């Protein structure tokens, strides 16, 4: 039995709300678990722990350092990642509509709109806390604040200013410490030294595995599927700090086969991709296009030190090159483009996302100066109603013809 | 002697041309209609009949335009971006900026010696395209071309504020009902399109000489409004609507 298909069918017929909270269903599904891929097993454990409330649940924003969540014995429930997952099952529209009926504007990021639709339809587990960062996304803390109000639970927000200078780091470290202490009080559980060692240790091993994937991405032809890498972004951020982290990324690496098929173009991808079923990646493959990396799955942080957990997590947060002046982002993109021998860059400008669209022009100009062609591809990662495939195809083809 | 064929299956109109020795043997335009594959087939047949040749004599066929994938018998498909650039390089090789205004999309293309360096396409909406003009012209019971001519008679302009085609239409209906001078409303419509297009051109950076292609380049009102908006004069080839098909045929010839 394919567990993914089964779950999808249940979600579609609406019986899932009840099923998601039924211990029986997890008992039944666990019979088939052994033969499933690590990512399915990880998702199973995450859903079971969250919906059956086996552990305290934290709703988290994408860049929130989940190492802290795992060290506290909680289960993270990453709402933006769940939105992408629902969209990939072709089920985004009813939830988006629900949120729109409740006055969530179509101009808002659809990751958040869809998350709100799920919350309003009672599809989410009851959280104990909501944890988010201001890092990168200016819509996210408002969205997470609204969610915390809806579920009547505390919202812990870490403000991430500047670009990681000494003062910025100190400020973030202080907030992380305070958040940790308040969470410890709330959960009546103190983080032990061994908890940090486990959580940061797993995160370090995951990091090692990711570095191996990056090496493969530089191979010509590139054996790593760009679609898969972009699909794994949510996983990378959700499993960091859990024992699943290294296993998941190592399984991904082992599934990569050296690619003998011809490669006509090498492109570097910015921001995310459409998660709903869309012909874009099949089309790129047909044209012999390799996506040799993307800025989010290539987010790499310094090794974390269990003796200095909060400072380590703060440096992980500041390793995000989308932070600070756009020069950071541009320099890193140019470095990666050169490392991966990419011929051009695609910036997927997600509707409603200030940070992926706002800098598009500066980015394009800066890349042009370095002789790197850049395609600004407007679209939506989650809302399939926004797709105009014919236009998108002409844009991509026109860009390939320039190369 | 070999013949090369370019087919530009546009959203509204399908254009085809046969070249022999670099000279046009025959060219024609069909409405695309709802069945692009069928139209492409008929267009090709019509070209063969008009050129009095058999299909065997056609060495390569390049298809372009939105319906390019609906031409199974094409040797190769190329986007209209590259084809328009190739076509304009043939007629106006000095052009550095090309504006292509078609039925449902508009593009600004930066050229360097006939090669595409960069391009910008309109967003998902149809404001600022031929379709917008057609909708507006219906309210005056005129053709888009007549609406363009009418706009040239105006000394002043009634500005249209809505960008959305549907809202702009109701705005225009309101203005007509209020009895405002028709030519001034017409000029407002031309300016509304020109402003949208100018925005795209400026994103690429305006570099002269500027040329224009696509069916809408035949509309004198739009051309004038764009010249006003950009502050430059615009070069128009003799048959702007055929430029994509010309480019496709030239690429077919080079490909062979
Ligand atoms: N003689 C003309 N005068 C003014 N506009 C014209 C003329 N012929 C065609 N058009 C306009 O050109 C548009 C079609 O242009 P075209 O480049 O063929 O588009 P597409 O390739 O998308 O079908 C139509 O909107 C039509 O109104
Ligand atoms: S896509 Fe942009 S707006 Fe949406 S969650 Fe991500 S960063 Fe925020």
User: Could you give the CA distance from residue A56 to residue A63 in angstroms, rounded to a whole number?
Assistant: 20
Q: Supply the pLDDT for residue A12.
A: 62
Q: What is the DSSP letter of A301?
A: -
CB B79 to CB A398 under 8 A? yes
B125: how many CB neighbours lie within 10 A of its CB?
16
Q: Supply the pLDDT for residue A352.
A: 87
User: Could you give the CA distance from residue A216 to residue A209 in angstroms, rounded to a whole number?
Assistant: 11
Q: Supply the pLDDT for residue A8.
A: 66
The radius of gyration of chain A's CA atoms, rounded to the nearest angstrom, is 21
* Facing A395 at nearest CB: one of B66, B121, B203: B121
Can you read off the two tokens belonging to residue B90? Answer: 């043939």
pLDDT confidence of A3, banded at 50, 70, 90? low
| Interface test with chain A among B104, B113, B124, B255, by most A beta carbons within 10 Å | B124
Is the predicted pLDDT of residue B159 greater than 60, yes or no? yes
Domains of chain B: 3-82+242-255 (3.30.420.40), 94-236 (3.30.420.40)
What's the pLDDT tens digit per position in A335-369? 999 999 999 999 999 988 888 787 888 899 999 99
CB A373 to CB B118 under 8 A? yes
List, edge to edge, every strand of the sheet that includes B234-235: B115-121, B106-112, B97-101, B210-213, B234-235
* Facing A402 at nearest CB: one of B116, B121, B123: B116
Can you read off the two tokens belonging to residue A194? Answer: 């061994």
Tell me the β-bridge partners of B112.
B115
DSSP A188-202: T-PPPHHHHHHHHHH
User: Could you give the CA distance from residue A373 to residue A157 in angstroms, rounded to a whole number?
Assistant: 38
Residue bearing the CA closest to ligand 1, atom 21? B10
What's the pLDDT tens digit per position in B32-91? 988 999 999 999 999 999 999 999 999 999 999 999 999 999 999 999 999 999 999 999
Q: Which residue of A has its CA nearest to B126?
A: A391
Residues counted in chain B = 256
Whether the link from the prior residue into B209 is cis, omega within 30° of 0, is: yes
What's the pLDDT tens digit per position in A233-260? 999 999 999 999 999 999 999 999 876 6
Residue A255, phi then psi, degrees to nearest 5: -80, -10
pLDDT confidence of B22, banded at 50, 70, 90? confident
Q: Supply the pLDDT for residue B164.
A: 80
User: Could you give the CA distance from residue A366 to residue A327 in angstroms, rounded to a whole number?
Assistant: 9
Q: How far is the CA of A109 from the centre of ligand 2 (A)?
A: 6
Three-state secondary-structure class, residue B66? coil
Q: Which residue of B has its CA nearest to A373?
A: B118
Q: How far is the CA of B142 from the centre of ligand 1 (A)?
A: 15
Q: How far is the CA of A375 from the centre of ligand 2 (A)?
A: 20
* Mutation to probe ligand 1, out of B11, B13, B217, B246 (largest number of atoms < 8 A from CB): B13
User: Could you give the CA distance from residue B83 to residue B109 in angstroms, rounded to a whole number?
Assistant: 11
Q: Supply the pLDDT for residue A135.
A: 86
User: Could you give the CA distance from residue A2 to residue A29 in angstroms, rounded to a whole number?
Assistant: 10
**How many CB pairs below 8 A link A and B?**
34
Residue numbers in A near B66 (CB within 8 A): 390, 394
* Facing A401 at nearest CB: one of B66, B78, B105: B78
Residue bearing the CA closest to ligand 2, atom 3? A353
pTM for this prediction: 0.88
Residue A369, phi then psi, degrees to nearest 5: -60, -35
Can you read off the two tokens belonging to residue A347? Answer: 């910036």
Residue A370, phi then psi, degrees to nearest 5: -90, 5
ipTM for this prediction: 0.81
Q: How far is the CA of B11 from the centre of ligand 1 (A)?
A: 10
A63: how many CB neighbours lie within 10 A of its CB?
26
Q: In terms of Cα–Cα distance, which of A397, A343, A349, A218 is closest to A292?
A: A218
């Amino acid at each position: 039995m394919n567990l993914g298909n089964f779950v999808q069918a249940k979600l579609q017929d609406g019986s899932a709300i009840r099923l998601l909270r039924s211990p029986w269903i997890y008992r039944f599904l666990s019979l088939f678990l052994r033969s499933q891929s690590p990512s399915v097993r990880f998702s199973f454990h995450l859903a079971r722990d969250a919906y059956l409330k086996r552990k305290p649940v934290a709703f988290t924003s994408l860049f929130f350092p989940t190492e802290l969540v795992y060290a506290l014995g909680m289960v993270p429930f990453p709402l933006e990642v769940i939105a992408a997952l629902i969209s990939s099952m072709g089920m985004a529209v009813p939830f988006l509509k629900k949120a729109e009926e409740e006055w969530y504007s179509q101009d808002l990021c659809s990751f958040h709109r869809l998350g709100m639709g799920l919350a309003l339809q009672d599809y989410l587990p009851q959280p104990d806390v909501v944890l988010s960062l201001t890092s990168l996304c200016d819509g996210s803390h408002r969205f997470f604040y609204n969610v915390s109000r809806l579920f009547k639970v505390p919202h812990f927000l870490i403000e991430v200013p500047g670009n990681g200078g000494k003062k910025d780091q100190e400020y973030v470290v202080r907030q992380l410490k305070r958040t940790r202490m308040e969470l410890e009080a709330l959960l009546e559980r103190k983080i032990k030294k061994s908890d940090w060692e486990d959580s940061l240790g797993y995160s370090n091993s995951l990091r090692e595995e990711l570095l191996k994937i990056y090496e493969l991405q530089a191979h010509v032809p590139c054996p790593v599927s760009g679609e898969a890498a972009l699909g794994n972004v949510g996983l990378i951020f959700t499993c960091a700090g859990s024992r699943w982290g290294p296993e998941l990324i190592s399984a991904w690496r082992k599934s990569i086969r050296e690619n003998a098929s011809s490669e006509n173009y090498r492109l570097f991808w910015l921001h995310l991709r459409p998660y709903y079923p869309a012909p874009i990646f099949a089309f790129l493959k047909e044209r012999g296009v390799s996506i040799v990396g993307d800025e989010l799955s290539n987010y790499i942080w310094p090794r974390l030190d269990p003796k200095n957990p909060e400072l380590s997590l703060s440096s992980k947060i500041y390793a995000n090159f989308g932070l600070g002046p756009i020069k950071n982002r541009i320099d890193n993109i140019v470095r990666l483009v050169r490392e991966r021998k990419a011929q051009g860059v695609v910036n997927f400008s997600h509707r409603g996302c200030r940070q992926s669209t706002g800098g598009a022009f500066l980015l394009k100009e800066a890349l042009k100066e370095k002789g790197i062609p850049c395609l600004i591809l407007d679209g939506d990662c989650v809302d399939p109603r926004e797709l105009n495939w014919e236009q998108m195809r002409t844009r991509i083809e026109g860009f390939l013809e320039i190369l | 002697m070999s013949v090369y064929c370019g087919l530009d299956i546009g959203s509204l109109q399908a254009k085809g041309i046969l070249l022999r020795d670099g000279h046009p043997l025959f060219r024609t335009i069909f409405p695309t209609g709802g069945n692009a594959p069928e139209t492409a087939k008929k267009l090709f047949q019509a070209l063969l009949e008009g050129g009095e040749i058999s299909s065997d004599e056609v060495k390569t066929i390049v298809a372009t335009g939105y319906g390019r994938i609906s031409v199974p018998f094409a040797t190769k498909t190329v986007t209209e971006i590259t084809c328009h650039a190739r076509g304009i390089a043939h007629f106006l090789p000095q052009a550095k900026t090309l504006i292509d205004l078609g039925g449902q999309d508009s593009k600004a293309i930066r050229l360097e010696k006939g090669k595409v360096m960069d391009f910008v396409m309109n967003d998902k909406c149809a404001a600022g395209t031929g379709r917008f003009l057609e909708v507006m012209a219906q309210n005056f019971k005129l053709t888009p071309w007549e609406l363009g001519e009418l706009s040239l008679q105006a000394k002043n302009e009634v500005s249209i504020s809505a960008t959305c085609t549907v809202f702009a239409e109701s705005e225009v209906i309101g203005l007509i009902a209020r009895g405002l001078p028709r030519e001034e409303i017409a000029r407002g419509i031309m300016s509304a399109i020109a402003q949208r297009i100018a925005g795209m051109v400026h994103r690429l950076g305006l570099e002269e000489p500027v040329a224009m292609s696509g069916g809408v380049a035949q509309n004198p009102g739009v051309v004038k409004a764009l010249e006003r908006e950009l502050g430059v004069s615009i070069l128009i080839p003799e048959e702007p609507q055929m430029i994509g098909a010309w480019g496709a045929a030239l690429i077919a010839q080079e490909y062979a």
